[in-house]
Structure 1
Amino acid sequence: MTEILVVGASIAGQTLAYWLARHGMRATLVERAPRLRTGGNGVDLRDEATEVAARMGILPRVRAAAADVRGMKFVDAADRAVARVNMSRNGEIEIMRGDLVGLLHEVAEPEVEYVFGDSVRSMEEDAGGVTVSFEGGTTRRFDLVVGADGLHSSVRRLAFGPEEGALRHMGHYFAFANADSALGEDRWVTMYNLPGKMAGLYRSGNHAQAKAYFIFRSAPLAHDHRDAEQHRTLLKEAFGHETSWRVRELLDGALADPDFYFDALSQVHLPSWSSGRVALVGDAAYCASPASGAGAELAVVGAYRLAEELAGTSDHQIAFRRYEEGHRELVKRKQQIGPNVRMMVPKTHLGMWARNGLALSMGLLARSS
């Protein structure tokens, strides 16, 4: 039986492990965190990703847990809505990332070996397999290794080299955290702009917990992506002096939240998603950034395709090549995110005014009464 190590127990890793097990392979899923990471913002499933969810038997529960957000509104400092954007799209389901991770775990856990609180320290490949040493001190042997461990993938670093060669900074940083639900309108995303910055509230119709989020323009900053206290400092430096709208309340809540998340808006671009017996899937291979709204879609579809190709041939090199050939076009389309971020975070007051005027003229926005 083929033994495959999957690193990262989020959307891509759990989808892949489930389908590998369904195809008769033995999947071991290792996750650095001590338990499932159930935080995060809303993610979208659409088109082929919803078909994969249906084949996994979780689509009815995905629909039941849908965020049910009607749209987003732009507000001024007095919390008056300047305009609203209808976000309903046929055939698309928005679900909180943590809810989707939980549903995937329910179907994958009976068939997959989960190892929490550990990570890969080193990998040594030979003609017959990969010897993996873990941070916890154990060493195990696998036929293949797949990195599904996100934007800052340790598997990618070990097999492909430093992440600087893979990441493309998109000129912004962002943060998510829990927020007081009383601060936002139910079933709406509320966005407040300052030049080069945006603070917002996300209120799902099916969740009592609201989410705060922040985006600010910046050249690359020197920081450790695992240092949460450093992240809090950077966000406080960007927004700490702002007193308009509800920025201070949102910031205070975010800085106190243990599930606070901060990172650069970045994409991953690699000439190949495999090297020998090691492959990558999801954000580790082709992160399109949160601005694309396509991360979950690419993760689910890519993981499914990789499992299908591995099941279709005993030659992993052929499987890896077919997986990449079949998935590259979708990745290419989703990484072309256009002016999304510039529209959300105009650089100047004039840019904010022009954004609203342009969107109104194009029929994208409806004036609030």
Structure 2
Amino acid sequence: MTHTTRTNTGSAPTKSPRRVATRSLAHLDVLISGASVAGPALALWLARYGARVTVLEKAPALREGGFAVDFRGDVHRTVLRRMGIWDEVHRRQTHMGRQTVVEADDTERVALPAFFMSGDVEIFRGDLSKILYERTADRVEYVFGDSVATLTEDSEGVDVTFDRGAPRRFDLVVGADGLHSHTRRLVFGDESRYLRFLGYYVAGFGIPNHLGLDRTARLYSEPGRTVVISNYDGDPDRAGVGLIFRSDRLDHDRHDIAQQKKILADRFADMGWKHAPKALEGLESADDLYFDAIAQIHVDRLSKGRVVLLGDAGYGATMGGIGTGTALVSAYVLAGELAAAGGDHRAGFAAYEAEIRDYAKGCQKTADNAGPFLAPPTEKKIRSRDRAYRVLGSRLLAGLFKKLTEKAASDLVLKDYAPVDRQP
């Protein structure tokens, strides 16, 4: 088992990456549950190594829109380039501009430059998912509108039944189905064993662009809650609302949209910002509501038998944990280690975990303070946060801040697994 050489500072690698011999995976049938980002990214690499790949998604089609995600640092850039999607990600990036923290009367408190939130390049999760789908659809089987019902493993493979489709058999199964992974629950046990609630909730939905924003955002905080109105794509008619609030663990149904809307309406009913009431008017009619706890997933191990976890299913953080970049890096490593092991899942999974566990934990740790930073619990802490924004966003400290934000994302020396097929 080969370990990466890690740096103490998150700076550039201290030695050149090692080139690793790989073998074809043409003898493998792999089922990937989840077609957001991690799943299709892994499918891209496995298909290049020759594996037969099926990606299963419970939604009836690719999910559009979603929050913007960013990439930062050499490791992210290297993986995007090796995937062959660097130029396309740049072509579809948000081009988000500065974001402004405001007072209740909407006067500016502090302005944040674009790099502060958007990294080297930023793209909507839905657009990234579409890029990955477009690059894999001709050699990967996608099945939408279905999900795994049961998994039964023996020494030669995994028998899978589905909610709708006919039973099938696969050599390996990958759970890339997010923070609330159904695959993880079936194989590793109930979510309550692995999900760590961090004391905050986050929500997002679309509204008419009544502020006339153009690739910018306005953010207002009161103790324990924050409202953000933003326009990321330049559409003059549409904007997005983000809501973050401090709370004890809520006893609610994750699938009951009406209940979630009531929770949000109650929590933000008396928000003091002059634009908050207008923003919340769009909540009742919103058909794209996202609502979840700010939480993290901590599992004891990433694989069990022929089943392995990837992305948020194995080391997720709702926000602030560089999760999308980690998912792409981890997909690259998982496929590479399987190919280096010639498809031996025991060796490949063990090597994947050895390579990625500390890296994923380091990225995840950056999200530990996401809730308190975005929605500080007291007025004093709001003022303290805004002073930090002002200092870190200054031209004088811009370079230092960039290095700090890249530290966890760059703290890995990537191997060069030399895919059989280098073409995108």
When normalised by structure 1's length, the TM-score is: 0.93
1:202 maps onto 2:202 in alignment? no
Q: Which residue in the other structure is 2:374 paired with? A: 344
Residue type of the alignment partner of 1:14? P
The number of residue pairs the alignment matches comes to 364
Instruction: Return the letter of the residue paired with 2:309.
Output: L
Match of 1:71 in 2: 98
After superposition, the Cα gap between the structure-2 partners of 1:291 and 1:25, relative to the gap in structure 1 and judged at 3 Å, is same
Q: Which of 26, 36, 51 lines up with 2:78 in the alignment?
A: 51
- The Cα offsets for residues 144-187 of structure 1, whole Å up to 9 and x where unpaired, read as 10000001000000010000111111110001111223326323
What CA distance in whole angstroms lies between the structure 2 residues aligned with 1:299 and 1:363?
Answer: 27
Higher relative contact order by CA 8 Å / sep ≥ 6: 1 or 2? 2
Q: Which of 320, 323, 330 is the matching residue for 2:349? A: 320
Does 1:277 pair with 2:303? Answer: no
Structure 1 match to 2:53:
27
Alignment counterpart, residue 278 of structure 2, candidates 224, 237, 249: 249
Structure 2's unaligned 5+ residue stretches are 1-26, 396-424
| Alpha-carbon spacing, 1:279–1:221, altered in 2? closer, same or farther (3 Å) | same
Determine the structure 2 residue equivalent to 1:239.
268
Distance 2:76 2:226 in 1: 30
Matched, 1:83 2:117: no
Q: Pick one of 110, 129, 144 that aligns with 2:172.
A: 144
Please give the per-residue CA displacement for 1:61-110, whole angstroms capped at 9, x wherever unaligned: 21011111233211111111111122416972111111111111110111
2:64 to 35, 38, 60: 38
Q: Which amino acid aligns with 2:89?
A: V
Q: Does the 8 Å contact 2:100/2:109 carry over to 1?
A: yes
Aligned 8 A contact 2:319 2:370 in 1: no
1:261 is matched with which residue? 290
Q: Which amino acid aligns with 2:64?
A: T
* Preserved CA contact (<8 Å) 1:176 1:211: yes
**Could you say if the C-alpha distance between residues 91 and 151 of structure 1 is closer, same or farther in structure 2, counting changes exceeding 3 Å?**
closer
Residue 34 of structure 2 is aligned with which of 5, 8, 12? Answer: 8
Q: Do 1:39 and 1:259's aligned partners in 2 also have CA atoms closer than 8 Å?
A: no
Q: Taking structure 1 as reference, are residues 211 and 365 closer, same or farther at Cα in structure 2, changes over 3 Å only?
A: farther
Q: How does 1:153-302 map to 2 (within 5 A)?
A: 153-183=181-211, 185-204=213-232, 206-208=234-236, 209-242=238-271, 244-292=273-321, 294-302=322-330
Local SS of the residue matching 1:262: strand
Give the C-alpha shift of residue 341 in structure 1: 2.8
How far, CA to CA, are the matches of 2:256 and 2:139 in structure 1? 34
Q: Which residue of 2 aligns with 1:305?
A: 333
How far off is 1:359 after superposition? 4.1
The one-letter code sitting in structure 1 at the alignment partner of 2:140 is: V
Contact 2:106–2:273 (CA under 8 A) maintained in structure 1? no
Compared CA separation, residues 206 and 19, structure 1 to 2 (3 A): farther
- Given residue 190 of structure 1, which amino acid in structure 2 is its aligned partner? R
User: Please, which runs of 5 or more residues in structure 1 have no aligned partner?
Assistant: none
Runs of 4+ more than 4 Å apart:
205-208
1:344 deviates by 1.7
Structure 2: distance between partners of 1:295 and 1:150: 10
Secondary structure of residue in 2 paired with 1:263: strand
| Secondary structure in structure 2 of the residue aligned to 1:290 | coil
Q: Give, in angstroms, the shift of residue 142 of structure 1.
A: 0.5
Cα-Cα RMSD: 1.9
**Partner AA of 2:113 in structure 1:** N
Contact 2:296 2:316 in 1 (8 A): yes
Amino acid across the alignment from 2:258: E
Measure the CA separation in 1 of the matches of 2:36 and 2:106: 36
Identify if the C-alpha distance between structure 1 residues 252 and 353 changes in structure 2 by more than 3 Å, giving closer, same or farther. same
Cα distance in structure 1, aligned partners of 2:176 and 2:119: 26
Separation of aligned partners in 2, 1:340 and 1:284 = 19
> Does 1:353 pair with 2:383?
yes
The secondary structure found in structure 1 opposite 2:245 is strand
Structure-2 change in CA distance of 1:48 and 1:184 (3 Å): farther
In the superposition, relative to structure 1, how do residues 207 and 93 fare at CA in structure 2: closer, same or farther (>3 Å)?
Answer: farther
How far off is 1:242 after superposition? 3.2
Q: Give the Cα separation in 1 of the matches to 2:147 and 2:381.
A: 45
Q: Is the 8 A contact 2:214 2:234 kept in 1?
A: no
Contact 2:103 2:220 in 1 (8 A): yes
